[in-house]
Amino acid sequence: MAEEPKETKPGFQNPVAGFGVTFKAMFKKRLTEQYPEQQKTTAPRFHGRHQLNRHPDGLEKCIGCELCAWACPADAIYVEGADNTEEERYSPGERYGRVYQINYARCILCGLCIEACPTRALTMTNEFELADSSRANLIYTKEQLLAGLEEGMVDSPHAIYPGTDEQDYYRGLVTEAAPGTERQVAVSKGEKPSEEEVEA
């Protein structure tokens, strides 16, 4: 004869056992972070938004070599290089990055572009709040990525420090702008300078 299945006894044991996990969690320390009211502190080497750096006199470190764009696995970086002239100099070398864009809708913040940069022009900051409601706003331009001017810097374009060359800049021998350094008139973007700018 086949055995009849045993009936489970109704009672409170099953419901109470189910609440066991809930009761254990009630007395544990809460891990909830009150973001964005309380800003999260990132690690010192956190990979956040990129920054294009300057030399101590204000000239740009980017030489428009496009190695960062070639190294990017997500194809998120677009660079157009252009030639410096004595009348309009943005970097100590022969070339500079005329157009520089990073598409943060594609960027995976891996840091391979930083490793590829030969002049340490590109670094990553701790800024991580990059969300936006528009895809177009996620494409950061050179003006947005370029580091701000610190005390003693002169905005590019301007002449290099007298008696130096690009090697002196990359060795760290130029530590400030030459006395009397003035910003040059920028005409490389297809704009003709006005008569007032030429006279100034």
Fold of 50-171: Alpha-Beta Plaits (3.30.70)
pLDDT at 96 (0 to 100)? 95
Q: Which amino acid is at 118?
A: P
Q: What are the structural domain ranges in the chain?
A: 50-171
88 to 43, 93, 200: CA distances (angstroms): 39, 12, 15
Q: What is the pLDDT along the chain (200 residues), one digit of tens a residue?
A: 556 655 555 555 666 766 777 877 788 887 777 888 888 888 888 999 999 999 999 999 999 999 999 999 999 999 999 999 999 999 998 999 999 999 999 999 999 999 999 999 999 999 998 889 999 999 999 999 999 999 989 999 999 999 999 999 999 999 999 998 999 988 866 555 455 544 44
Q: Cα 123–128–132 angle (5° rounding)?
A: 115
d(CA 78, CA 126): 22
* Residue matched to tokens 């009672």: 11
This prediction has a pTM of 0.75
* Residue matched to tokens 């696995």: 73
Q: Which two tokens stand for residue 96?
A: 């500079």
